[in-house]
């Protein structure tokens, strides 16, 4: 069992108060593997200055027979935003995708996710 081709798309509201993370990946079973599995995706905020960071989660049951595409979505209120060091703390959230059959973890994928908006200013070449 393998998690393959994992990628995320983050979207922020115009007021930067709400975020959506779309997570997409393929589950590739080992030859002859046919089973129901549970996919769990957890997104954990950076702990910066808080005793217990917030954790956001999405789950999905998948019936595997062959390569199976999986789409999940996580919504976040008031996300911690990434920004360059010169402007503050570049917050990176940790995303963990796990595939389980019962309590057995079959595969795990870990990545970092950031939320931010970038503006390129045509009349100021020094600003990016």
- What domains are defined for the chain? 2-113 (2.60.40.10)
Rounded Cα gap, residues 77 and 84, in angstroms: 22
Q: What's the predicted TM-score (pTM) here?
A: 0.85
Task: Please state the rounded mean pLDDT for residues 79-105.
Answer: 91
**86's tokens:** 């010169």
Query: Which tens digit of pLDDT belongs to each residue from 93-120?
Result: 999 999 999 999 999 999 999 998 776 6
What is the DSSP code (8-state) at residue 85?
G
pLDDT at 124 exceeding the cut of 50: yes
pLDDT tens per residue across span 18-43: 999 999 999 999 877 778 999 999 99
Are 115 and 79 a contacting pair, CB within 8 Å?
Answer: yes
Q: Sign of torsion, CA 122 126 127 128? A: positive
Cα gap 110→123, rounded to integer Å: 39
In angstroms, the CA 29 to CA 16 distance is 39
């Amino acid at each position: 069992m393998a998690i393959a081709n994992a990628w995320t798309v983050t979207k922020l509201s115009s007021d930067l108060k709400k975020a959506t993370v779309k997570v997409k990946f393929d589950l590739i079973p080992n030859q002859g593997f046919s089973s129901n599995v549970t996919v769990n995706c957890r997104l954990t905020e950076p702990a910066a200055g808080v005793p217990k960071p917030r954790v956001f989660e999405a789950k999905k049951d998948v019936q595997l027979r062959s390569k199976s595409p999986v789409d999940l979505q996580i919504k976040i209120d008031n996300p911690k935003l990434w920004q360059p060091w010169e402007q503050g703390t570049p917050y990176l959230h940790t995303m963990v995708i796990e595939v389980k059959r019962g309590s057995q973890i079959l595969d795990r994928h870990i990545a970092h996710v950031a939320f931010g908006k970038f503006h390129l200013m045509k009349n100021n070449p020094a600003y990016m």
